[in-house]
Amino acid sequence: MRWRARQGSVEPHRQTRRHSRQDQTGRDVIEVSASTLRRIEAGRVGIKGPALNALMDRYGVTDAGLRDTLLSMAKSGKQRGWWAKYGDLPSSYRQYIGLESAAEEVHNFETLVVPGLLQTADYARAMTSEDAFEPSPEAVERRVAVRMQRQELITSGKLRLVAVLDEAVLHRKIGGAEIMADQLAALLDAGKHWNVTVQVIPFREGAYASMLSSFHILNFGNGPGVVYVEGITGDLYAEGEDVRRCTVIFNSLRGAALSPTDSTAMIEEIRDARRNE
């Protein structure tokens, strides 16, 4: 599934796409051609308030809160996202940044690496430099800059992040012991913010739900959420029942993890070990 990757315009496109597939008369409601409707569905063109109202009426969207949310997001969708200037980024990554920028809360489970929203520049640089396609130093620095700018959602308090990490994330010395020690220290600092929660699933837990797959759940206030899974051959976006299923799994992961306080103690211990190497 593909959605417009621009802050504030994701949900209207998802809603119109969902219903217009079932009822092609949607193009008659807003008086557009079939090709224009397809571009709206694909997120390549915007949708204005009056047209969105007409579509919501046609498709029976009666919830006042949801209607207000969709109209507000469509209005702000006219704004150009900061990530648009990074044209060399994969389109799927730009799409994710747009979703993330529109979200109110992200639940992120990671099996092997620190969440992008919590990475230090050196950690991100070490990871990006090891890309199998051997990006140029300039491309690496642009990727790092994008990741650092994404983190403004956290530092500004616009986004709440709940991150659950496998203990393996803490032990993998990406960039070497010193860079990893600094990264663990940054994790500890992030956990002090009101809008960041970090929990660790210890090795002693054994097997647990979804231990083979990292994923994100993005929540948009009154609107339905989105599940995002990054893949080697393509990224997956899912909604509806998949969001509910992944939410159950994420809650199970939090139950298997150490408390935030005990997680902090574990991170501190591993950080100190890295600093003593």
Domain boundaries, the chain: 10-76, 85-275
CA nearest to 146, candidates 119, 110, 186, 106 = 119
CA–CA separation, 182 and 168 (whole Å): 17
Q: How many CB atoms lie within 10 A of CB 231?
A: 9
| 85-275 is classed CATH 3.30.870 | yes
The arithmetic mean of pLDDT across residues 237-256, rounded, is 94
**pLDDT score recorded for residue 24:** 53
Mean pLDDT over each residue of the chain, to the nearest integer: 85
Model confidence over 71-101: pLDDT tens digits?
A: 766 665 556 688 888 888 887 888 889 889 9
261: pLDDT strictly greater than 80: yes
